[in-house]
């Protein structure tokens, strides 16, 4: 199981598009939000030298947090504390 946290700049159109794609319609147009994703990858795919894309992900959960406090709550509900996160280059994060 993997958990990724994607910071979103709410003033950017791309971030606003992500929020709308996730079903969030009302949000501030300034500040920061966090897209929290939990997913799994089949063991045959992970670790091999193949491209991993959205269709390869299983057990997907997406959540949005609009503050660091909400981020901490969202992560704890998914079973991990904010302090347990690591930078992507220090992990085996697949995508």
State pLDDT tens for residues 11-50: 999 999 999 999 999 999 999 999 999 988 876 655 556 6
Answer yes or no: is 15 within a domain: yes
**Which pLDDT belongs to residue 65?**
95
Answer yes or no: is 7 within a domain: yes
Sheet holding 32-41, edge to edge: 2-9, 32-41, 57-65
Domain count, the chain: 1
Higher pLDDT, 7 or 94: 7
pTM (2 d.p.)? 0.79
Answer yes or no: is 72 within a domain: yes
**Which pLDDT belongs to residue 90?**
65
**Which pLDDT belongs to residue 13?**
97
Residue range(s) defining the domain that contains residue 51:
2-83
């Amino acid at each position: 199981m993997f958990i990724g946290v994607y910071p979103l700049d709410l003033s950017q159109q791309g971030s606003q598009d992500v929020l709308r794609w996730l079903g969030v319609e009302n949000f501030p147009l300034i500040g920061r939000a966090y897209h929290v994703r939990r997913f799994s990858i089949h063991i045959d795919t992970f670790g091999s030298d193949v491209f991993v894309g959205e269709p390869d992900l299983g057990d997907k959960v997406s959540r949005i947090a609009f503050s660091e406090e909400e981020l901490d709550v969202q992560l704890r509900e998914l079973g991990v504390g904010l302090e347990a996160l690591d930078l992507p280059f220090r992990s085996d994060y697949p995508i």
